Amino acid sequence: MPTARTTQTRIESEALLLRFVAYRDSDVIATFFTRTDGKIGAIVPAGRKSARRVGGAMEPMHTLHVSLEDRGRELGTLKEARVVVQRFGLVGDLDALDAAGTALRWLRHVCPPRIPEPRAWDTVTGLLDTLDARQHPPRSALAIAALRLLADVGYALEFEHCVRCGRGCPPGKPAFIDAARGGLICQSCGGAPARIGGELRARAADITRGEEPELTDEDAEELLVLVDAAMRAHAGGEG
What is the contact mask toward Zn ion in residues 150 to 179, using x (rule: CB under 5 A)?
Answer: ------------x-xx--------------
Residues 128-147 that bind Zn ion (CB under 5 A): none
Nearer to Zn ion, 81 or 177 (CB): 177
Q: From the centroid of its chain, how far is CA 166?
A: 27
Q: Is residue 92 within 8 Å of residue 132, measured between CB atoms?
A: no
Residue 137, SS3? coil
- Does position 109 interact with Zn ion (CB under 5 A)? The reply is no
Name the minimum Å distance from CB 42 to Zn ion: 45
Contacts of the segment 209-215: beta carbons below 8 A, 24+ positions apart: 210/148, 212/144, 215/140, 215/143, 215/144
- Does position 186 interact with Zn ion (CB under 5 A)? The reply is yes
Name the minimum Å distance from CB 160 to Zn ion: 12
Distance CA 212, CA 83 (A): 29
Name the minimum Å distance from CB 126 to Zn ion: 34
- Does position 196 interact with Zn ion (CB under 5 A)? The reply is no
Nearer to Zn ion, 51 or 180 (CB): 180
Distance CA 74, CA 147 (A): 30
